[in-house]
A and B are shown apart, each in its own frame.
Chain A
Amino acid sequence: MSARANSVAGWWRRIFRRFGSLELLAGIALFAVILILILFRAQLQTHDPYVGDLYDRFSAMGVGGHLLGTDNLGRDVWSRLLEGIRWSISAAGLATVIAFLIGTVVGLVAAQVSGWVRTLLNQIVDMALAFPSLIIAIIIVAVVGRGFWPLTITLGLVSWPVFARVVYAETLSLLERDYVAASRAFGARRSAILLGHVLPGLRPTLTVVLAFHFADMLVAESALSFLGLGAPLGVPTWGNLLQESRDYLMVAPWLLIVPCAGIIYAVVTVNLIGDGLSSLARKRGLRIDL
């Protein structure tokens, strides 16, 4: 094998080892595309997403300078799509962060207290997980109204138990490790143990859960928008676009296909990242625990 081929193989191998699996690499690369679309939204849009040319209604994809066609009001679908992505990603992202913060705190606390406090917290989390949160989300958003913050906060408030459960279980298991007992044995303070041993130990699991949760939030946002309970009427998120397309299924199927493809792309990408992180954690875990 030539020296050059060797170095390529070696370079490839190093990347592989860093990412642990093809899935993670692919997922991150695909997600980067989304980020680029968001960042360069202004440059990439070909038309004004909110104003349409009524003479251009229902153009098929690729016709007349419209990459993805136009809708019932002559608005360019491609530009609308780009406009909505930012909204969806940030809503889902923020909801994840809110859920993460609340859930992690609850989980950490529950793992360290004992007695009735722990039992109570556990019961709350169990019940919250068992009850379909979508109902609560629907009701709250119906009541409060559509909008970015109502949706984001509601989703965050409704989904934190997922994090609480995971953090609770992991923390309990980490606190029983020998190296934590060793730290206690030579007198380390509880806060030092938490910061130094527990939180870093939570990191691999948390990253995986964060990824999957983000994907779930994306789906939840588009579902709620589709039902008319999420993004405000004008914003062209995937869910809203789907909702709008319902009346024109016969005439303009691309109005359905484009947002479908958008959602699928985003969710599959994030799921890939989650899968990749999870197999990475598993591989690393195997090597560590031998």
Chain B
Amino acid sequence: MKARISAGSRLLGNFVVLLLGITTLMFFALRAAGDPIIVMAGENAGPEMIAALRQQYGFDQPLLLQYLYYLGNVLKLDFGASLASGEAALPLVLSQLPATLLLAFLGMTVTLVVSVPVGAWLGARPDRASVRIVSAIVVFAQGLPGFVTALILIQIFVVQLMWLPSLGHADVRTWILPSLSLASFLAPKLIRVIAANVAEAMRQEYIRTARSIGSSAASILWREAFPNAILGTVALVSAQFAFLFAGAVIIEVLFLWPGIGLLLFESAQTLDFPVLQAITFVVAVLVFLVNTLSNLVFRRIDPRIGQAVS
């Protein structure tokens, strides 16, 4: 129990460090080279207008003061209001979060459904000819940047064949292309990781032991090799999440899917600081949650963790 508490507090400490680090970084980076007031005021605004705006949004204070004020607000979960629309920043971001989560869920599901069987099959017998061909296809597929695949899919299904609509996320039909595109982003990499882990597990000596008692090939793959391979894969979940999010941003922009990726893109163009800061915060929280969850899962399923090394 004591170990759990100390591990938990360490994790919390990590989270605080992350949060502080990211938000501070954002705060200073944003102000470093861009001036949102100019953007907001437009091209024809005179200097008095600009000064007035500056005062209104509190940008005329010294930097450090702004930072402290900001830090205090963060603790109250108040990120201010969007410079563009005037809505409160954090609620705005949170309102668009479900769309992104939906996309992520759909994309991840398709990815897993494809990657796990293919990856396991590829890893099981890496020297078979058929496997080499499929491997080559996967190598090729990994070279396809996700948005390229998305564009090609749009080209084929929307433009040429006119089967599927391309925008928004109202209707289930609009869900298909974005999830497929996101999956094409993630699947090749995941397939290779799973294949590598499975192949690595199959090379171990305990596979030989299982064969020596007469287990069938299928039984060996799924009972002995796969649990080990999954462990290795789960450990990479946090890195996968970063990748997933990057993919989601691009997909959302492409398909005008109203999630936080699209919001990020639009806010970046208008230098809408409060919203950008809020998005950073929300993403940091998500990262923390995903990491913690995967850590917990990892600890539960690996019997070696938590034991004193004998």
- Which positions in A face B, CB cutoff 8 Å? 123-124, 126-127, 129-136, 138-140, 142-145, 215, 219, 222-223, 226-229, 242, 249-250, 253, 256, 260, 263-264, 267-269, 271-272, 275
For the side of the interface on B, what is the size category? 35 or more
- Contact B148–A227 (Cβ < 8 Å): no
**A130 and B241: CB pair below 8 A?**
yes
B164 nearest CB across to chain A (Å): 14
Task: Flag B146-166 by CB within 8 Å of A: 1 or 0 each.
Answer: 011001101100011000000
* A227 with B155: CB separation less than 8 A: no
> Which residues of chain A are near B159, meaning CB under 8 Å?
249-250, 253
User: Is A135 within 8 A of B279, CB to CB?
Assistant: yes
Q: Which of A131, A228, A268 has the most CB of B within 10 A?
A: A131
B269 interfacial by beta-carbon distance below 8 Å: yes
**Given A219-B145, A267-B144, 7 new contacts (CB under 8 A):** A130-B238, A144-B33, A229-B268, A253-B160, A264-B143, A268-B142, A269-B143
Interface residue? B245 (CB, 8 A): yes
Q: Is the CB of B245 within 8 A of A267?
A: no
- Residue of A130, A226, A249 with most partner-chain B CB within 10 A: A130
Cβ–Cβ contact A129 & B155, under 8 A: no
| Chain A interface, >50% SS class | helix
Of residues 281 through 309 on chain B, the ones whose CB sits less than 8 Å from some CB of chain A are 283-284, 287, 290-291
Q: Is the CB of A135 within 8 A of B151?
A: no
Contact across chains for B155 and A253 when beta carbons are under 8 A apart: yes
Q: Could you tell me which B residues sit within 8 Å of A by CB distance?
A: 14, 17-18, 21-22, 25-26, 29-30, 32-34, 139-140, 142-145, 147-148, 151-152, 154-155, 159-160, 238-239, 241-243, 245-246, 249-250, 253, 264-265, 268-269, 271, 276, 279-280, 283-284, 287, 290-291
- In the complex, chain A residues whose CB is within 8 Å of the CB of B253: 227
A30 CB to nearest chain B CB (Å): 11
Residues of chain A within 8 A of B30, CB atoms compared: 139, 143
Bound Cα distance from A222 to B140, whole angstroms? 18
Determine the distance from Cα of A132 to Cα of B241 in the docked complex, in whole angstroms.
8
Q: Which of A135, A142, A226 contacts B245 (CB 8 A)?
A: A135
Kindly state the separation between the CA atoms of A144 and B271 in the bound complex, as whole angstroms. Answer: 10
Nearest A residue to B290, CB-CB: A130
Q: How far is the CA of A250 from the CA of B166 in the complex (A)?
A: 14
Contact partner of B143 (CB less than 8 A), chosen from A135, A222, A228, A268, is A268
Question: CB-nearest residue of chain B relative to A142?
Answer: B268
CA distance A124 to B14 in the complex (A): 9
Assess A267 versus B143: contact at CB under 8 Å? Given A131-B18, A131-B242, A135-B279. yes
Q: Which of B22, B265, B269 contacts A131 (CB 8 A)?
A: B22
Residue of B nearest to A134 (CB): B246
Among A124, A222, A260, A271, which residue has its beta carbon within 8 angstroms of that of B139? A271
Are A256 and B139 closer than 8 Å at their CB atoms?
A: no
Q: How far is the CA of A227 from the CA of B250 in the complex (A)?
A: 8
Select A123's contact among B17, B33, B142, B246, beta carbons within 8 Å.
B17
**B residues near A138, Cβ cutoff 8 Å:** 249, 264-265, 268
CB pair B139 A268 closer than 8 Å: yes
CB-CB under 8 A from A144, the residues of chain B are 33-34
Closest residue of B by beta carbon distance from A250 = B159
Q: Which residues of B contact A223 (CB under 8 A)?
A: 145, 147, 246, 250
Query: What's the least CB distance linking B8 to chain A, in Å?
Result: 16
Q: How far is the CB of B184 from chain A (nearest CB, A)?
A: 12
Instruction: Write the nearest CB–CB distance from A264 to chain B, whole angstroms.
Output: 6
**Contact between chains at A129 and B239 (CB < 8 Å):** yes
**13 residue pairs A–B, Cβ–Cβ below 8 Å:** A126-B14, A130-B287, A132-B242, A134-B246, A135-B245, A135-B246, A136-B25, A138-B249, A140-B29, A143-B29, A145-B33, A223-B145, A260-B152
Contact A264 B148 (CB under 8 A): yes
Is there an interface contact between A131 and B148, defined as CB atoms closer than 8 Å? Answer: no
Question: What CA separation (Å) do A143 and B25 show in the bound complex?
Answer: 13
Instruction: Return the contact of B283 from the options A132, A227, A229 (Cβ within 8 A).
Output: A132
- How many Å from the CB of A167 to the closest CB on chain B? 17
Min distance, Cβ B244 to any Cβ of chain A, angstroms: 8
Question: Would you list the 9 A-B pairs with minimal beta carbon distance, nearest first?
Answer: A268-B143, A142-B268, A143-B34, A134-B246, A132-B245, A267-B143, A219-B145, A132-B242, A130-B238
> How far apart are the CA atoms of A158 and B249 in the complex, in Å?
17
Contact A130 B291 (CB under 8 A): yes
Minimum CB–CB distance for B34 against chain A, Å: 4
- Who on chain B is nearest to A271 by CB? B143
Shortest distance in angstroms between B62's beta carbon and chain A's nearest beta carbon?
20
**If the complex has contacts A130-B242, A260-B151, are A142 and B18 also in contact, measured as CB distance less than 8 A?**
no
Q: Is the CB of B155 within 8 A of A256?
A: yes
| B160: nearest chain-A partner, CB-CB | A253
The interface residues of chain A lying within 8 Å CB-to-CB of B249 are 132, 134-135, 138
Least CB distance from A231 to B in Å reads 15
B14, B32, B265: which contacts A127 (Cβ < 8 A)?
B14
Residues of chain A within 8 A of B18, CB atoms compared: 127, 130-131
Contact A135 B280 (CB under 8 A): yes
- The reply to whether A127 and B21 form a contact with Cβ atoms under 8 Å apart is yes
Q: In whole angstroms, how far apart are the Cα atoms of A132 and B271 in the complex?
A: 19
Q: Complex Cα distance A132/B291, Å?
A: 13
Contacts of A145 in B (CB 8 A): 33
Task: Compute how far the CA of A249 lies from the CA of B280 in the bound complex, rounded to whole angstroms.
Answer: 34
Q: Residue of A at shortest CB range from B159?
A: A249
A260 B284 Cβ-Cβ under 8 A: no
